[in-house]
Structure 1
């Protein structure tokens, strides 16, 4: 996944060997990568991307699960979130296929955009299968699979009777119960600043998942302008609005991961409208000449700022 992970457990149940548990977690994450990574040429997703057939292709239930959630968020956001954006991600140098720090030509962008349309990716649940309506679709699950990985680790922990934990993969988190001091887990939300780490908020949570999407960690600069890895599927260009980061709280990290990206792509006005309409608990940090302005949804206010736990 190109990032680090941290798992904190309080009160390991009797009979659970920590080394064996660590081995199980590593095996689980390696397996998820082997299914959903675009950086591994032999992953299930990479093989699907290379397959230009427009017939049904049998896939694992895990891959079908993540694509199903992704398509739901695509419908919700009217395509702002789109896992078929991979051709554009690669073109702009943020994927494994075409690494560059150069701005693509308008012709290249328009060509890549023709390969981007979530409606051209079909899902069958039983037996699990995917189908491309256009053979050169390139699926990139980077904006949602990490959250899925967090959820799977959490499920593994709970299957072992562990109910006080915090799972973090690259900043996407899921937690339950209480921390080492017997109090709620403390989750920090970063200021969206490039090159430094500064906390904007700390929230006390006892259950749920949190994910942040931002334009400030993965980018390149050219001619005094910053180009983020967050690509707008409808324009083919990195986002240019002043919404710097979106933090979403949800029951699952997979949903929070995808929704945060969708809201970020939509921008401060449309993104906030989507979050309010769908009762999403979201915190938006917006760049202004005077610093960052915060916008919080009604659901965020009622569930977090008033002291309630994520549910």
Structure 2
């Protein structure tokens, strides 16, 4: 009888070990996480997976996110968006389906919100030191602010959805920071759907999308709505989610202070200045996270009264945390209450307006 050489036997053993390791079932839920977009991704999957399947899923979703970054980042000179930003004013530029879709969503929310959402404010964002330019955090001078403000506006770009092209009508810097992360969240969800995954939660830097349930007992996924605190992360409300996405915009994390005054990273495109009102955060639940992301930003700019009025008019599912003298109030739209149930609103002491 022939015998395997020690070297060949070792190779066979390693191959068998590799196969068995890839086929090893993982305990549910499986969590995949890493860094992306200067932030993080965290994908939790309740479906039964082997180690090999989980590894392949993560490789695929990272590729999806890298594609989004290559298309929509303003921090990469080689991105599709930066090529558009550097194109000659007035000349049509062919763009990918994904970039056209995100620009179209942005323009739609801009129109509906009266310009409270505007992706052409990249130059202003840089001026206030919250963008891609390396600048000291300080209040800009009035003349420079007015000069850049005169350029921006939803009418400074034109989109031809059918022709998959767009053009800049003025020399503006398009910054998709208020919608691209939401689009990335949607893309990861679509990827997981395409791979046959039925139960998952995608968290892309705080933008969320869920499908199915979190365990075999059909318990819903649960998320925390953060209290607007500067010094720590603490959930103000815990909400059950099923087959929906959620995006939150707030003013209590990214800001700078000068002469005792706080300047938020969220700019009002109409004035060119950081928002300054009592609305602390806006959470929007929507089938599409890109839409939720854009709407959350627009409503955050508008403030509680004007924002609530628009949210009701658009039948949006919205939760607002509003600063008061001794804390904050939680206020939701009727559509939000209808989705989560009035009993949940009563339990969480959320006022419906």
TM-score under structure 2 length normalisation: 0.84
**Residue 112 of structure 1: aligned partner:** 148
1:153 aligns with 2:188: yes
Q: How many residues align?
A: 307
Using the TM superposition, give the Cα deviation of residue 307 of structure 1 relative to its aligned residue in structure 2, in angstroms. 6.4
**Residue 283 of structure 2: aligned partner:** 247
SS of alignment partner, residue 84 of structure 1: coil
1:38 aligns with 2:74: yes
What is the distance in 2 between the residues matched to 1:65 and 1:307? Answer: 37
Q: Counterparts in 2 of 1:44-55, with a 5 A limit?
A: 44-55=80-91
CA change 1:83–1:240 in 2 (3 A) is same
Gaps of 5+ in 1: none
Q: Counterparts in 2 of 1:1-16, with a 5 A limit?
A: 1-12=37-48
What is the distance in 2 between the residues matched to 1:12 and 1:100? Answer: 49
1:67 aligns with 2:103: yes
Q: CA RMSD in A?
A: 1.5
Using the TM superposition, give the Cα deviation of residue 98 of structure 1 relative to its aligned residue in structure 2, in angstroms. 4.1
| Runs of 4 or more above 4 Å deviation | 13-16
Using the TM superposition, give the Cα deviation of residue 21 of structure 1 relative to its aligned residue in structure 2, in angstroms. 1.2
Match of 1:231 among 267, 270, 273: 267
Q: Counterparts in 2 of 1:291-310, with a 5 A limit?
A: 291-306=327-342
**Residues 185-239 of structure 1, C-alpha deviations (whole Å, 9 max, x = no match):** 0011000111211111001111100000000111111111111110001111000
Match of 2:305 among 269, 275, 278: 269
Query: Does structure 2 retain, via aligned residues, the 8 Å contact 1:115–1:138?
Result: no
CA change 1:198–1:13 in 2 (3 A) is closer
Gaps of 5+ in 2: 1-36, 345-353
1:138 aligns with 2:173: yes
What is the distance in 1 between the residues matched to 2:245 and 2:99? Answer: 21
**Residues 69-108 of structure 1, C-alpha deviations (whole Å, 9 max, x = no match):** 1111001101000000111101000001242211001111
Using the TM superposition, give the Cα deviation of residue 160 of structure 1 relative to its aligned residue in structure 2, in angstroms. 0.8
What is the distance in 2 between the residues matched to 1:72 and 1:63? Answer: 14
Q: Counterparts in 2 of 1:114-193, with a 5 A limit?
A: 114-134=150-170, 136-180=171-215, 182-193=218-229
CA change 1:128–1:12 in 2 (3 A) is farther
Query: Does structure 2 retain, via aligned residues, the 8 Å contact 1:87–1:115?
Result: no
**Residue 11 of structure 2: aligned partner:** none
**Residues 238-283 of structure 1, C-alpha deviations (whole Å, 9 max, x = no match):** 0001111000000111111000000000011100100011110101
**Residues 166-197 of structure 1, C-alpha deviations (whole Å, 9 max, x = no match):** 00101000001100353000011000111211
Query: Does structure 2 retain, via aligned residues, the 8 Å contact 1:91–1:98?
Result: no
Match of 1:211 among 230, 236, 247: 247
Using the TM superposition, give the Cα deviation of residue 15 of structure 1 relative to its aligned residue in structure 2, in angstroms. 11
What is the distance in 2 between the residues matched to 1:89 and 1:214? Answer: 16
Using the TM superposition, give the Cα deviation of residue 306 of structure 1 relative to its aligned residue in structure 2, in angstroms. 3.2
**Residue 93 of structure 2: aligned partner:** 57
Match of 1:287 among 323, 326, 330: 323
